[in-house]
Amino acid sequence: MMRVFAPLAPLAFVLWLQAPQAAPSPHTTGDEDVVRGLVQTYYEAQTKKDADTAAGFWSTSVNPRMGRESYLAVFAAGDAEYTPEIQSVTIKGTEARLRIAVAVTRTIVRNEVSGTTRQRLLIAQLWRKEGTAWKLAREGPFAEDVADQLIAAAPADRAAILAEHPIEQNASLRYVLSQRGTMAITLGQNYPRGKELFELALEVARAGNDRHGQANSYHNIAQAEYFLGNHAAATAAYEKELALGREIPAQDMSAAALFGLATVAYSRSE
């Protein structure tokens, strides 16, 4: 089983004086207004604890997705008010990407004593137009957007993308990539694709000088190589994890690497 360790930017725009540009097409402007309205209604439904309405915003083609039972579990934690602030909307074709800062004020009663907690969530959402309706396809941290950019970019362009998003060079981005690699394997049995995503997670960990993240990525790569039958490559990745585990030091990482090396040796009758 793949191990994924999880601990859980805005762009600056410079406006230059230039000739007036054509106004956005009515279609694009209309779609943006519609999506903005859907986001407001989506969080209003959560404030009202309306699980059916909240779940209804999600595309039925998404797996996994938030369903009625998931929202009921969230709402059971107490009353909460969700106030979204849409920071950016980017629409390309039938996809809309949004970055939203959500202020959450939650009231929880424990031992008959009422208390209030406040937090600010930075959320990235992906909406897709299905026929004439916009449906929510993904919701997660800002790192989801950066992960999309890295996956779509040529290897030579990745360093520039990471330089533009230094805040995302952390465990959150690595976790998102590792999670996608795990899903590629567990849901699609696509070990080559999983290995590619684990290697990209390793690249992110190196860029952020995250040695724990590097060790975790080596472990995931080793497991993918093992199931692909590449025992020599699996051994090499486990040995790199072991070296990092001893340098940090981190006994759990060292133990995991040794277990992996033993598994490979056992499979090779060594």
Model confidence over 181-235: pLDDT tens digits? 999 999 889 999 999 999 999 999 999 999 999 999 999 999 999 999 999 999 9
Q: For residues 116 and 138, what is the distance between their CA atoms, to the nearest angstrom?
A: 29
Could you tell me which CATH number the domain at 26-141 has?
A: 3.10.450.50
Residue type, 234: A
CATH 1.25.40.10 intervals, the chain: 142-270
Burial of 36 (0-12, 13-18, 19+ CB in 10 A): middle
What average pLDDT does the segment 48-59 reach?
A: 97
CATH class (in words) of the domain with range 142-270: mainly alpha
The residue type found at 76 is A
Joined tokens for residue 172:
């959150």
Q: Enter the tokens of residue 244.
A: 């990092």
Residues of the chain with CATH 3.10.450.50: 26-141
Residue 167: predicted pLDDT:
79
| pLDDT band for position 100 (cuts 50, 70, 90) | very high
pTM: 0.71
pLDDT digits (tens, 9 = 90+) for 243-256: 999 999 999 999 99
